[in-house]
Structure 1
Amino acid sequence: MTAQLPAPRGEGYRIAVVCSGNICRSPVADVVLNDKIAEAGLPGITVDSFGTGGWHVGEGIDHRSGSSLIAAGYDGSRHRARQFGPGVASDYDLVLAMDAGHFSQLGSLGVPHERLWLFRSWDPEPDGPTGGDVPDPFYGGPAGFTDVLVMIERTADGIVTDLEAMAQPDVGHRLS
């Protein structure tokens, strides 16, 4: 199945990106997507990130993810980890899981199937050793964090392309 953005349910468009603890993968995706959306000049789109677990709530981004972002010209310093709970699903038009385990957990938390996608569903290079998952770099070295950033940037470009198409009047949806 080809990835397709669900239609906005109200004013603007809200996207949630979800990983395990909300300190490595999802905050990087949050920062990169927000930056690319701003560069594209797309108003009315909000991107937030969460973890399925609550053990890092309130903490900043993992220093290795933060370092990879800084090296690439991004700023993740404002990030504070949050947990995705059952009541959060209704706030978002699109919920992006960083791997198949998160996808399953989010479905169990009530995220409707039509609004739940794997983040890499927009990746032009979706195969390889990780399949459709964004691998967790937490227990590895710096190269893993850089690899994840590159994968997220590549995928974010595809998401932004679809957001731009959705913003066109002939598509029938308005994002702002």
Structure 2
Amino acid sequence: MDTSPRILFVCLGNICRSPAAEGVVRAMDPTLTLDSCGTGGWHVGEAPYGPMQQAAMARGYDLSDLRARQFTPKDFARFDLILCMDGQNLEDVEAQRPNGAKTPVRLFTDYAPQLGADKVPDPYYTRDFDGALDLIESCAKGLLKSLN
């Protein structure tokens, strides 16, 4: 029986940060059950944003099979850990928490405290796709270390 945690990554539109986090962690540990989603529904069904896919692919992370979906309260039952890319995502997820749901919701950056970052900045707006990936890789390493 698989006892590894089911982990969900959440950002705003599910086209940059959370699919990148899913792809990076999947590449680092393909045995984990992972998914990503957005708090907004603007991009449901779309592939990750082209420039994010290109930046990820340059590092060996293929995001092309991922498709955006929107967070739902059912995700609290489907996952053991929900990791948000920024504080607003975390607030939006917590606002949908069903009564009695115990699934922890944390910031992804909690897994790289040495960096002093309180969010993964959205490269859709900052245009810093490599900077976002640098941070995501550091958080992913910290996450995997915490699971061992």
Tell me, yes or no, whether TM beats 0.5.
Answer: yes
Q: TM-score, normalised by structure 1?
A: 0.77
Structure 1 distance, partners of 2:48, 2:21, is 12
Partner of 2:16: 24
Partner of 1:148: 132
TM-superposed deviation, 1:83: 0.5
User: 2:97 matched to 1:115?
Assistant: no
Partner of 2:89: 102
User: 2:123 matched to 1:137?
Assistant: yes
SS at match of 1:138: helix
Let me know the Cα RMSD of the aligned residues: 1.6
- CA radius of gyration, larger in: 1
Structure 1 distance, partners of 2:73, 2:143, is 25
Contiguous gaps of at least 5 residues in structure 1: 1-9, 165-176
Greater length-normalized contact order (CA 8 Å, ≥ 6 residues apart)? 1
Structure 2 distance, partners of 1:58, 1:114, is 26
Q: Percent identity?
A: 39
SS at match of 2:14: coil
Structure 1 distance, partners of 2:88, 2:26, is 24
Q: TM-score, normalised by structure 2?
A: 0.91
Structure 2 distance, partners of 1:19, 1:76, is 15
SS at match of 1:50: strand
Structure 1 distance, partners of 2:87, 2:3, is 30
